[in-house]
Amino acid sequence: FVPSPLAVAPTSKTSSNSRLPSPLFALDTKEKPAEATADPAVSSISSTTVESSEPAADSEGLPWWWSYLWELPALHPGEPGTDITFADSANVLRTNIEQIYGGYPSLDQCPLATGEITDIADGTMFIGLQRYQNEYGSPYKLCFGPKSFLVISDPVQAKHVLRDANTLYDKGILAEILKPIMGKGLIPADPETWSVRRRAIVPAFHKAWLNHMVGLFAYCNEGLIASLEKAADKKDAPSGQTGGKIEMEEKFCSVALDIIGLSVFNYEFGSVSEESPVIKAVYSALVEAEHRSMTPAPYWDLPFANELVPRLRKFNSDLKILDDVLTDLINRAKNSRQVEDIEELEKRDYANVKDPSLLRFLVDMRGADIDNKQLRDDLMTMLIAGHETTAAVLTWALFELTKHPECMAKVRHEIDSVLGDRTPTYEDIKSMKYLRLVVAETLRLYPEPPLLIRRCRTENKLPKGGGREATVIRGMDIFLSLYNLHHDERFWPNANEFKPERWETKYTNPEVPDWAGYDPEKWMNTNLYPNEVASDFAYLPFGGGARKCVGDEFATLEATVTLAMVLRRFEFEFDSSKLAETKVGIMEHPEDLNHPVGMRTGATIHTRRGLHMVIRKREV
């Protein structure tokens, strides 16, 4: 198997990027400069990024072509956790070869995107995929060596994959990569384990608990506010600006970690104010999950790799620290177990409950599986799934509000009139509609993650929708681009504009067959935030169908409370000294023109160099 005819072939011009683009998410081609990451935890995140001038070997010293070899079906037969076999992978490969040498239309009727590899390896793969979408429509196919992906960016087709035919798809590569970290947690779990655990975990996010969580979010934010006050008091802003300097992406990461620790397993990380080996271990797990998602060859599965590769040895020892903490918390919860029926648990008076964590609920539930390993996997999954995602939403919401002073003024007016000096309650959130729309609009412009991943288990037909009818063959890997869906003018007029008001207006487009359009009536009376149902699957920040995020309401409430508390007390401006520095980034990435902080992807969309702001206490 010669890779180049099948690949979007690296040309001599692009040879510095000759390592294959990631099969997952994106390759980041820029390294975050050290000054943007004073916090060691955050600097360890930036260390996962890959330099554009990468020589012909990756960070583990493996030659770039090794990843091609790994993808040969003979070396990578039948995927663990799925029923896809060597024969299925070979059939997908044969289809692609026939298409390349036989010409379009192929067996699956999908055009093959061709172009320079740099189109998608410039650090923002989702933007590269959008360029191809404009050219080829939905779905189109992308080949990297013998590996191929069907890229879907249409709401009707997304509804088919996620909801109507969801049993015909599994998580494919994503499950393979996350299994060593999350075990049998919901994201990578096999179908049997998934349905048992999903039934146990969904009731844990019940109404009374979410109501109580609003108070917990406010409690964790007090630490953040104290640390922001200190920064404001420093008054070290660059000349021409007043206030103190602060990097807000890192601050939002810390508060989101504190919140997830306390709410999910009753553990005080206290990461807003200090650094500890456990916090470092959490970041190590996150960094490794992200690194694996960007590494084409699963070298960690090789015999002895975990003993021999220094990176893996370090990761395993960090994971052990985290596992020990989780095991201790699980044992303590089990030792004080008080079994109750789900209905009774859901009626708990949380004001008088000492430990309101999700772990407590999962242990106390009658008939629950309280096997240590399973509980550990559940907690680890929620820690990873629920931390950086929310931090990213907060980062981009502050970024957009700073760019749009008229929206900021509206938000502030709402917060002042609803909250006054109080900390927010669930009822207050209901009253702060504009702020909720800001959160929704941020999730539209910056979906976290920007791509969903699936693998087809049974050949089936994709409906046409606003794209083309196609056959998805068994074994085919899928990228469902949320970024494309959310930025498509056919579903969202002036799609690139930050306009929270858009969510109040009905929109239909008869030119997209079978798409019902967006209808605010479908959520405003029943939900706090717009969702996939109201947009007929054109807005999928939390996915949709059976595998939809279990933490959607938790996360949106968390983001709303945090923004309300922070924006009420502080004024922000972009740090002008850092803006000048990022001009280089702007020149290199024309699509970043509206993003003075730049974008890069791992599992979520990060800034390139941090969200550097000048902060002042607000006169109220």
Residue 134 near residue 104 (C-beta atoms within 8 A): no
What pairs with residue 472 in β-bridges?
460
What minimum distance in Å lies between the beta carbon of 614 and ligand HEM? 26
- Positive/negative CA dihedral, 63, 598, 454, 47: positive
- Cβ neighbors of 536 (< 8 A, separation 6 or more) are 155, 159, 515, 516, 517, 518
Counting contacts by CB under 6 A, is residue 542 touching ligand HEM? yes
Determine phi and psi for 114, rounding to 5 degrees: -130, 155
Counting contacts by CB under 6 A, is residue 150 touching ligand HEM? no
What minimum distance in Å lies between the beta carbon of 267 and ligand HEM? 14
- Toward ligand HEM, which CB reaches closer, 407 or 555? 555
- Positive/negative CA dihedral, 517, 523, 524, 529: negative
> Of 375, 550, 567, 599, which one interacts with ligand HEM (CB under 6 A)?
550
The residue nearest ligand HEM at its CB is 551
Counting contacts by CB under 6 A, is residue 374 touching ligand HEM? no
> Of 254, 390, 531, 535, which one interacts with ligand HEM (CB under 6 A)?
390
- Toward ligand HEM, which CB reaches closer, 492 or 529? 529
> Of 547, 568, 608, 612, which one interacts with ligand HEM (CB under 6 A)?
547
What minimum distance in Å lies between the beta carbon of 395 and ligand HEM? 11
> Of 180, 243, 386, 596, which one interacts with ligand HEM (CB under 6 A)?
386
Q: Number of residues in contact with ligand HEM, rule: CB under 6 A?
A: 22
What minimum distance in Å lies between the beta carbon of 549 and ligand HEM? 3
What pairs with residue 340 in β-bridges?
365
What minimum distance in Å lies between the beta carbon of 279 and ligand HEM? 18
Integer CA distances (angstroms), 85 to 91, 253, 457, in order: 10, 40, 10
How far, in Å, CA of 203 to CA of 162, rounded?
22
What minimum distance in Å lies between the beta carbon of 393 and ligand HEM? 5
Counting contacts by CB under 6 A, is residue 389 touching ligand HEM? yes
Amino acid at 311: R
> Of 186, 231, 437, 561, which one interacts with ligand HEM (CB under 6 A)?
186
- Toward ligand HEM, which CB reaches closer, 388 or 571? 388
CA 263 to chain centre: 20
Burial of 459 (0-12, 13-18, 19+ CB in 10 A): middle
Counting contacts by CB under 6 A, is residue 393 touching ligand HEM? yes
- Toward ligand HEM, which CB reaches closer, 6 or 480? 480
Counting contacts by CB under 6 A, is residue 168 touching ligand HEM? no
Subset of 511-540 contacting ligand HEM (CB under 6 A): none
Joined together, the tokens standing for residue 458 give 């049974």
How far, in Å, CA of 551 to CA of 557, rounded?
10
The reply to whether 549 sits in an annotated binding site is: yes
Element (H, E) at 201: helix 191-201
Subset of 36-95 contacting ligand HEM (CB under 6 A): none
Cis peptide before 105 (omega within 30 of 0): yes
Can you spell out the DSSP letters for 172-194?
HHHHHHHHHHHTTSTTT--HHHH
Please compute, for residue 608, the number of CA atoms within 13 A of its CA located in the half-sphere on the CB side: 26
- Toward ligand HEM, which CB reaches closer, 554 or 572? 554
> Of 99, 381, 442, 484, which one interacts with ligand HEM (CB under 6 A)?
381
Counting contacts by CB under 6 A, is residue 555 touching ligand HEM? yes
What minimum distance in Å lies between the beta carbon of 402 and ligand HEM? 20
Counting contacts by CB under 6 A, is residue 253 touching ligand HEM? no
What minimum distance in Å lies between the beta carbon of 190 and ligand HEM? 12
Counting contacts by CB under 6 A, is residue 140 touching ligand HEM? no
Q: What is the 3-state secondary structure (H, E, C) of 69-82?
A: HHHCCCCCCCCCCC
Exposure class string for 544-559: b at 16+ Cβ within 10 A, else e: bbebebbbbbbbbbbb
- Toward ligand HEM, which CB reaches closer, 256 or 470? 256
Q: Which stretch binds ligand HEM (CB under 6 A): 48-56, 379-387, 483-491, 567-575?
A: 379-387
Q: Which stretch binds ligand HEM (CB under 6 A): 33-41, 315-323, 389-397, 405-413?
A: 389-397
- Toward ligand HEM, which CB reaches closer, 291 or 547? 547
Please compute, for residue 324, the number of CA atoms within 13 A of its CA located in the half-sphere on the CB side: 9
How far, in Å, CA of 269 to CA of 262, rounded?
8
Subset of 450-479 contacting ligand HEM (CB under 6 A): 452
How far, in Å, CA of 512 to CA of 494, rounded?
17
> Of 467, 541, 602, 610, which one interacts with ligand HEM (CB under 6 A)?
541
Binding-site residues sit at 549
Binding-site residues for heme sit at 549
Which residues form the interface with ligand HEM (CB under 6 A)?
186-187, 198, 264, 381-382, 385-386, 389-390, 393, 448, 452, 541-543, 547, 549-551, 554-555
